[in-house]
Amino acid sequence: MTPSLPDLREHLAGVQMSLDEIGEPLHSTTFVVVDLETTGGSPESCAITEIGAVKTRGGEVLGEFQTLVDPGSPIPPMIVALTGITDTMVVAAPRIEAVLPAFLEFLGDAVLVAHNARFDVGFLKAACRQHDYKWPGNEVVDTVMLARRATTKEEAPNKKLGTLARVFGTTVTPNHRALEDARATSEVLHGMLERLARFGITHREDLDALRNPVPEKLRKKATMADRMPSLPGVYAFRGPRGEHLYVGTSKNLRTRVKTYFTRGEQRRQIREMLELAVSVDAHVCATDLEARVVEVRMIEQHRPRYNRRSARPERTTWLALTDERYPRLKTIRSMDGEGALVGPMRGGGEARAAIEVAQQALGVRTCTTRLTIVPRADARACLLKDLGQCAAPCVRGAESGYDGAVDATRRALESDPSPVVDALQSAIESHAEKLDFERAAELRDGVSSLVEGVMRAQRLRSLRGVKLVAARRNGHGFDIASIVDGVLTGSARVTEGVWAACARLRDEWDEAPATALVEEREMLARWLEMPGTRIVMIDGEWASPVDGAGRHRQWVTARVSDREASAALPYAPGRRS
């Protein structure tokens, strides 16, 4: 099986990229330098009294943010003496919950800088957590850390802000007030960046190398990224014998590969992989969906030793009814295997739990003996017959009514597991009333595993025998995917000419595509179910909620219910909406 899609483009070897494409130059990076004044040193028991911040890019000040904050409690005398901020000054100031939205908007996606960043970021994170604001997770740079790399012990015996301000000759003197200290920190930051530029620290990605130093033998391998395109796709590290070591995806292949050698990779196995790697391949993909599918296919084909998901994919478990006169439930390892009904299950334990609850609720037999069509003369039933939990086809044959239990089991597993849920609800409640919580939890988890397995199987079966083209708005353009029998056969990203692009992908449909991996089918099903995804073509015809035909109608309308998506992608010309 090849990992390539019809329009998969190999990266252009030999094309020299500009220096800017290696990463984001520091002169183009937006920094927000922040300083806080607080009532004490613990973000859990103390509060912010003042926030000051300066936004800069390329040494130019873009804006400033400053406000006093009412901490909600008296300011300790020692803090008043240090900062000069008194209770009288903050009595009319806003509380932190009113200040945070404005500060987070000012911060945006800039790099957050602070002197002793652990202190300031700790207070900001605690405030967001206490007032239900999501912390944006911006990259953080600590000027104390930079100072350890940019200054000597002789010129800066300590790394206090006042000391560094004297070393770099800032125009603003730190005075324990938030905005003034933020201004001084900003000047110190740019002074240190100018000094570090002489040592090759010129891009935003290089700052990570300062935080987590990379061994020299790995830094020398960073040239592997030089010929990578700054485009989305799949990258594959190769070993000395050309073997695939690791496969991954990225929206910017060049930047992602470079980070492996500049950000101080801490994962032991990945560090080991980088030491073995001698080259890296790039596969440019039209869409993020295509990249993720190609990644899955390459991992399945090459089984890279450092990809976790490549280890023993054959362990995927499904539930099926055995092919015999009196079927029973069993586990199998293939979606397309004999009578697969439920799955994929998350593991062997969940599969066994699901089988147990189905047996108890539906009366399907638990014994593993292959029964004869006509019971033997000396056949004997087990205790479950006496307990009324099995129809005992082993002794009663066709007269046992076991066929009804099998039919009920097949219906429950193929379409509607509610009979299992209804049958075991009272059992779970009964065990709970008897304080047998362990057994109640076992049955509850078994029912949950069965229902989830049925849902996953239904989603995958919905792609079988279907040829479709779907589109989804992505920023100012559309991501378009062509899917045949659960296999991605092509994709495109366009800003105009949507209908023409859909028609091109339809023309590339393969009558007999490669067998889809379970992971690929699940990935495609999730993409189709995302809000905004619209099915454009089915079996070569334009599709709409009102003209979907025959067996596809229900499947189509279930995925064309989002009004915003329908408005964003009008129906094909000439079709009635």
Judge residue 577's burial from the number of C-beta atoms within 10 Å of its C-beta, 0-12 exposed, 13-18 middle, 19 or more buried: exposed
Secondary structure (3-state) at 156: coil
Order the strands of the 9-10 sheet from edge to edge: 9-10, 279-284, 233-238, 244-250
Maximal C-alpha separation, the chain: 104
Catalytic residue among 27, 131, 176, 244: 176
What residue type is assigned to position 553 of the chain? Answer: R
**Catalytic residue at 176?**
yes
What residue type is assigned to position 397 of the chain? Answer: G
Q: What DSSP string runs through 507-518?
A: HT--SSPPPPPH
Distances from the Cα of 273 to the Cα of 83, 199, 268, 280, 569, angstroms:
51, 27, 9, 12, 44
Nearest CA to 131 out of 48, 189, 57, 204 is that of 48
Judge residue 549's burial from the number of C-beta atoms within 10 Å of its C-beta, 0-12 exposed, 13-18 middle, 19 or more buried: exposed
Secondary structure (3-state) at 395: helix
Nearest CA to 360 out of 384, 332, 393 is that of 384
Distance CA 311, CA 243 (A): 16
Under 8 Å between Cβ of 294 and 244? no
The C-alpha angle 565, 566, 572, rounded to 5 degrees, equals 130
The C-alpha angle 543, 548, 552, rounded to 5 degrees, equals 110
Q: How far apart are the first and last CA of the chain?
A: 41
Distances from the Cα of 258 to the Cα of 205, 245, 254, 280, 304, angstroms:
8, 17, 6, 11, 20
Q: Provide the token pair at 87.
A: 């209770």
Query: In what helix (H) or strand (E) does residue 461 lie, and over which residues does it extend?
Result: helix 437-461
Token pair 């103390």 is at which residue? 46
**CB neighbours (10 Å) of residue 78?**
10
Query: In what helix (H) or strand (E) does residue 554 lie, and over which residues does it extend?
Result: helix 553-558
**426 Cβ contact list (under 8 Å, min separation 6):** none
Q: Tell me which residues are annotated as active site.
A: 176
